[in-house]
Every structure is written in C-alpha cells, then in structure tokens.
Amino acid sequence: MRRAAFADRRDAGRALGARLAGTVPGDVVVLGLPRGGVVVAAGVAAALGAPLEVLLVRKLGLPRQPELAMGAVAAIGEAVETVRTDHVLTAAGIDDATFAAVRDRELVELRRREAAYRGDRPPVDLAGRTVVLVDDGLATGATVRAALQVLAGRRPARTVVAVPVGSPAAVRELSALADEVVCLFAPATLRAVGGAYGSFAQTSDDEVRRVLREAATEL
C-alpha cells in the first residue's frame, strides 16, 4: 500500500509553505479556498509572513455525481464569476437549465459561508499585490479557474496558484491562466485528491473561522 504524500491538510500546508518560502516577492496576500484550502493556506501564510484571507468559491457538482465538477462559481464582494467544465457537461448531457439551477443553489451557500467567515468585513484590497491562491488539491481545476477569473477584476500584480496535489492536466491548464503554479505532487493518475492524504476529514465552518483567527493573531 502506497504511503500518503501528506498526513493531513496542516502537514500539506507546512510542506507547501516550505517550498514557497523566499520565492514569492512583493506585497503578498494568501487566499485560501474554503473549506479545506484555508487549512492548507494557513501554513503557507505563516511561512511567508503574509496575511491570510478567504476567497469564496463553490464547486458545481453533477446532480447524480456531486464530487465531479461540471463547473464552479466564485465571488469577491458583488463580483461573481462562473466557469463551465464543458467536457463533463457534454459527457453527462447536462442542459443549461439544470446547470443554472445548481449554480443558483451553490451561490446561496457561497453567500452563507461569506457571512460566516467574513462577517461585515469588506473584501481585502488586492490591487498591485502578489496573490497566492491555495487549495487542498486540484482535480478538474474548475474551482481555481473560477477563483482566477474573479481575481482578475481585482487587478493583482501577480497570481500564484499553490496546491499540495493536483492532476497533471489541471496543472497544465492553470499554468496558462496564472503567473505561476506550484504543485508538490502531481501523480500521472489522480483518482481523488483525498488519496494523497492520510487524513482528509471534512473541514467545518468552525475550523475555518478558528484558522483565520489564529492567522490574524500571528501577524
């Protein structure tokens, strides 16, 4: 049985932070994708001595196979971006009405999480800064693509996508959209992101809030 690449998300965050330390210039802000990506991002922010924030994004899963992304929706403040994974939509025969219904439902959940994690705080100013965008892994890359689209409207100086594990296809695709993609482990066959972790338990809203509070007190 092959040993997991990372014990858990915190272990992955430490490894990713060690890889990035000293390599990211400029005024840096680290954005974690909730929920699990925020835990990984905390280790990156600590290594870089940078503030940690969240970027709200939701995977749009197939109705009968919710773990497979047919797209994603991301938001910063009032700006909302949606991406479609066309080959998944075509293979599954998903029509526009079904896609729209899933998107609208996930946007409601996105706004709920935004209120839970950010409260009344306005979105962080990203203009002219180096943004390190962190998730706990890349399967199709749809959620990170949506995040990059909404980030573009905030005029960052540079965007770095950083993940512990990802599929080679997703890494290649995102390399054309971000200034840099850092992926520690990209196996030729990635059946599931969780397979790279010894423990890949679901992250709760309370844990996300706790991680954000801890990161704020460390700066």
When pLDDT is cut at 50, 70 and 90, the band that residue 67 belongs to is: confident
**For 94, phi and psi rounded to 5 degrees?**
-85, 125
Say what the pLDDT of residue 39 is: 97
Say what the pLDDT of residue 100 is: 97
Say what the pLDDT of residue 209 is: 94
When pLDDT is cut at 50, 70 and 90, the band that residue 140 belongs to is: confident
When pLDDT is cut at 50, 70 and 90, the band that residue 219 belongs to is: low
Tell me: the pLDDT tens digits for 68-118?
A: 889 999 998 888 899 999 999 999 999 999 999 999 999 999 999 999 998
**CATH class in words for 9-218:** alpha beta
Say what the pLDDT of residue 102 is: 97
How far apart (Å, rounded) are the C-alpha atoms in residues 207 and 147?
22
Tell me: the pLDDT tens digits for 162-217?
A: 999 999 999 999 999 999 999 999 998 888 899 999 999 999 999 999 999 998 87
The token pair at 62 is 């197939």
Say what the pLDDT of residue 2 is: 61
Cross-strand partners of 80: 75
Say what the pLDDT of residue 196 is: 94
User: Do 168 and 186 touch, CB atoms closer than 8 A?
Assistant: yes
When pLDDT is cut at 50, 70 and 90, the band that residue 1 belongs to is: very low
Closest by CA to 147, choosing from 31, 36, 28, 61, is 31
Tokens 């397979």 correspond to 195
How is the chain split into domains, by residue range? Answer: 9-218
If one compares 67 and 182, the residue with the highest pLDDT of the two is 182
CB-based contacts of 28: which residues, under 8 Å, 6+ apart?
Answer: 48, 50, 129, 130, 131, 132
In the chain, % of residues over pLDDT 70: 98
20 residue type, one letter? L
When pLDDT is cut at 50, 70 and 90, the band that residue 14 belongs to is: very high
Query: Does the reported pTM lie above 0.85?
Result: yes
